[in-house]
Structures are given as structure tokens and as C-alpha cells.
Amino acid sequence: MNLFSKLFGKKEREESIGADQRSVEEFVSLIRVYYQAVMAVNLGITNLNMLPDLGLFKRMLKIPTQNNKPGLAEKSRVRKVLMQDYGLSETFFKEIDASIKKNCKSQQQVQSYFFQFQGFCSSLFSLLENLMKWKFRFSMLVKKLLYSQTEKTIHEIMSKSEWKEVSDQKAAWSIRKYAETLGYSEQWIIDFVYNVVLLAKEDAKRDRKADK
């Protein structure tokens, strides 16, 4: 079973935001809210139909619009949640801000940016699952070990020059190109991937318990 399938598509999952238990879908939804809030602020987007995750977040938490600028209050709120609940740093959000500023200079570029980010995530997690499949069973026993294994694997993807499998090499090159275009550092990728991997495994564990 692919732990990361369907996580980065367009489908809204209203039940994911505000769930009692942290889940990978909640985390990814909150990340999308932050992206869309930054875009709303930077580009002056007032039609929240263009930014459905942001609109949903705003409605569910009843967040008032700050200074007549949609996205401003939501950006602050979702960043606080992600920092407190998932341990993300200010630097993590600064890289997102810089990436969007670099690649989204007009509203017409928003959809293109999300396509690029979705392609980046799809390529990255497909390769990660192939490279780390056997390690998941052991590293999940200790979170520090999971982090170190994630860190090591991401470093290989971003720097290794020779691969045994041609398909893995092509995937790694594609990921590096995406990262360069989007403007994400190796450390940003590690922090993002670690949270998704950890939560995906916790989701799978809960599903197994529910099946029993």
C-alpha cells in the first residue's frame, strides 16, 4: 500500500481540519492553507473560491478578515498551529514565502505553481518509499532514528551522483530540478518529509487497530 497516495491532490477533505487526532491529511491540509494564505496576501486575491483550503479554514475557525486583506490573519493562525503542533521553525515558513514570491508574480501563475509543487511531492515520495521501504519498520520504533534515516535519504537524493537503478537516478534528478525551481533547501525537504512520514505511519497504525 502506498502511504503517500492521494495526499497532494485537489480534493478537499473537510473532516481533516480540526480533527481530534493529528493525521497526515490534516498536516498536508494545513500546509496548503499556509501556501494559499501567502498567495492571497502577496497577490491581493479576494475571491476565496480560487483558494478553497484557505476559505474552508477561515469558515471553520470563524477567522475575521484583518485589515481588509484575506489571508493575513489566516497566515498567522495556521503558522502558529504548525509550529506548536508539528515543531516547524520560522525558517521553514520563510522558505515557503520566498518560493511563492519568486514563482508567483501574478494570479495566473498560482495554478502553475501548485502543479509544480504537486509534481515535486509525487516524485519525492515515490522515490522515498522505494528507498526507505525496509527502514520504516525499524526506524518507527524511535523518532530520532526515523529523523536520521529521513535526513540521510534526502541527502542522498539531493547529492548522490551514481545510482544502481537508472529509474532512481532520473527521479532524483527530477526532484533536484523541482527543488531548485521552487527554491527549497535540503533542510526544508527533510522537515517536510519527516512530518509526513511520521504521520503516515501513525495513520497506518490507527487503521490496523480499527480493523481489529
1 in a structural domain: no
13 in a structural domain: no
143 in a structural domain: yes
Q: Which residues, in sequence order, are bridge partners of residue 69?
A: 66
Would you place residue 206 in the very low, low, confident or very high pLDDT band (cuts 50, 70, 90)? Answer: low
37 in a structural domain: yes
10 in a structural domain: no
pLDDT above 70 covers what percent of the chain?
A: 82
Would you place residue 201 in the very low, low, confident or very high pLDDT band (cuts 50, 70, 90)? Answer: confident
For 66, phi then psi, to 5°, come to -95, 125
12 in a structural domain: no
3-state class (DSSP) for residue 2: coil
pTM: 0.84
Enclosing domain of residue 189: 24-211
What is the tally of structural domains in the chain? 1
Residue 24 has pLDDT above 60, yes or no: yes
57 in a structural domain: yes
Cα dihedral across residues 209, 153, 10, 64: positive or negative: positive
Tell me the C-alpha distance between 65 and 68, whole Å.
6
C-alpha cell at 144: 530520532
pLDDT confidence of residue 210: 65
